[in-house]
Amino acid sequence: MDSNLIELTSEDGLKNLIEKNKGSVIILDFWATWAQPCSQMNEVFAELAGKNSSVNFVKIEAEKFPELSESFEIEAVPAFIVLKNGKIAERINGANAPELTNAVAKYAKVSTFVTGKPVATSEKKAVDLNTRLKELLNSSPVMAFIKGTPTQPRCGFSRKLIEIFNENQVKFSSFNILADEEVRQGLKEYSNWPTYPQVYINGELVGGLDIIKELVANGEFKGMIPKEKDLNERLKELTTKGNAMIFIKGSPEAPRCGFSKTLVNMLDEKKIKYEYFDILQDEEVRQGLKKFVDWPTYPMVFNKGELVGGLDIIKELDSSGELDTMFALEKSI
């Protein structure tokens, strides 16, 4: 076994490791003997440990350390936690080897270059995160931050909230806070609300499940729900949100498919300013936009409300030099 691959034998062992490796990256692997996917992911974990000596890899048998598992909110195995400076930096749920590999590659670089000038100050990161949170809060008239998805909620409180929404025929968008640790922790401070789920209406915090229950019980909730816009009207507003508007899977900071990532990289390299919409967060928009503009795939790029096309079209425009001309007024300085 590699010296940086550790099998946890006591909770104190993890505390001591974190204390001795302040400023370094530690990756935790929560697993169980009975879960078949864990066997394969443990092999991946060990292989990554062998290739990344600057990072400590810790295997934790979840059922042997129930309090530790609970403290990290482990609800299913395998689950992987990236610790940076002793705090959770990222969470990977399930047997997702590519996502784990990418996370290790990203944080191994951080661990290797601990000294030197930081890429960005903590103040700048906070501003960037607050901007992203504000965009998320306002991405739908009714926005719910939950554990899991509406079809697969990952906790009882989130499940009950979805049931209430469905019973009251509320159209809403959701964000899975288990998929993004930065948003999960940052939103607690941004809204000064410590628990999930959280519900926002027109960008304003309403509260958690108990508040929603009270509002439903006293009859106030239905009156708070914004009148539903016609889908075509909503799509027109979205496509004209910015002169350069892109519809992608994920966010520019964390694209969820290769095509979206390539598009974002191209626009960023060209220093083209753009607004974006994450189509994974709203199935109605995702399917409706295809019909609205008669374009079957994502990502999509719009210029002043008019469809330009997908990634291939953008590549062609870049090759011909037309891309710079088209978005000349949208260049950032």
List pLDDT tens digits, range 107-134.
876 544 433 333 344 444 555 788 888 8
Shared domain check, 236 and 219: no
Predicted confidence at residue 120, as pLDDT, reads 42
Q: Tally Cβ neighbours within 10 Å of residue 164.
A: 16
Give the end of a domain, one of 109, 144, 165.
109
Residue 7, beta-bridge partner list: 59
Predicted confidence at residue 247, as pLDDT, reads 96
Q: Which candidate, 246, 245, 135, 242, places its Cα nearest to that of 183?
A: 135
Single-letter residue type at 8: L
Shared domain check, 136 and 206: yes
Tell me which residue range forms the domain holding 71: 5-109
- Pair 41, 29: CB distance under 8 Å: yes
pTM of the predicted model as reported, rounded to 2 decimal places: 0.43
Q: Which candidate, 245, 259, 232, 238, places its Cα nearest to that of 302?
A: 245
Shared domain check, 98 and 17: yes
Domain-embedded: residue 333:
no
Shared domain check, 179 and 105: no
Shared domain check, 141 and 164: yes
Domain-embedded: residue 282:
yes
Two structure tokens written together for 217: 């019980």
Query: Which stretches of the chain score pLDDT less than 50?
Result: 111-124, 332-333
Shared domain check, 151 and 103: no
Q: What is the dihedral of CA 101, 107, 108, 112, to 10 degrees?
A: 170
- Pair 26, 83: CB distance under 8 Å: yes
Predicted confidence at residue 110, as pLDDT, reads 52
Return left, alpha or beta for 324; rule: phi > 0 is left, psi -120 to 50 is alpha, else beta: alpha
Distance CA 180, CA 90 (A): 7
Give the end of a domain, one of 224, 241, 270.
224
Domain-embedded: residue 313:
yes
Shared domain check, 103 and 51: yes
**In this structure, is the dihedral angle defined by the CA atoms of residues 286, 291, 297 and 298, taken in order, positive or negative?**
negative
Predicted confidence at residue 261, as pLDDT, reads 92
Token look-up 């062609």 returns 316
Domain-embedded: residue 192:
yes
Give the end of a domain, one of 190, 206, 224.
224
Shared domain check, 128 and 167: yes
Domain-embedded: residue 138:
yes
Shared domain check, 321 and 263: yes
Distance CA 258, CA 266 (A): 12
Predicted confidence at residue 200, as pLDDT, reads 95
Shared domain check, 219 and 127: yes
Domain-embedded: residue 212:
yes
Shared domain check, 165 and 105: no
Shared domain check, 277 and 251: yes
Distance CA 199, CA 216 (A): 13
Domain-embedded: residue 142:
yes
Q: How many structural domains are present in the chain?
A: 3
What are the pLDDT digits (tens) for 299-310?
999 999 999 999
CA angle 187, 191, 194 (to 5 degrees): 70
Give me the CATH number covering residue 41.
3.40.30.10
